[in-house]
Structure 1
């Protein structure tokens, strides 16, 4: 399987993923190849080639109905990208240094839970910031 970063490096594949994300957010249960072709203005063979790469990287799932195929975004593999990107988008806090400063020794499970909560908060902050940018705010 190709490295996910190589897969999403291609602009057409990113456009396909974006379209599938938007259609999913609108409540669609899959998007046909013909709709993708129409929306992106590229040839059907080109879309099919990119969908094959996305399918092999497990970034999309496909549902067949007769002769038609409907594609949906599979968000799971994008978590690898998110895990890599988030530290670049938020300030890292050294939890051990903070704990030492306030003379508090946290048990390891509590440290892991706090780090997880911090990651979720950073992701939410990034999502809200991105939404505000798109809205022009």
Structure 2
């Protein structure tokens, strides 16, 4: 059921928002807005992705586990993919994931959620030695 809501509900919300914005700004400006946010988002995601990759490489070179940096890199990737998806809601979420203070909080919340699942026994993991 939640996946159905995700794949049906989000596109319907996106469509409604695009129609609403199209009525306000006009079709050309709305299409231009979607294209510009996609291009700016892709450039921003690429830049931040390279920064995250550099941090991961530095951590590995120093012998430090890059867990948090990998998590943030994944959120940057998700943010970039959301920005390439046409729509206003996905663009807002995508841009939010590319803003470092928001992404850091999102990563901490995601990490806490995963750790809680592990503590409760909902997820099994094997420790690498």
TM-score, normalised by the number of residues in structure 1: 0.27
Higher strand share: 1
Relative contact order, higher structure (CA 8 A, sep 6+): 2
Q: Which has the larger radius of gyration?
A: 1
Higher helix share: 2
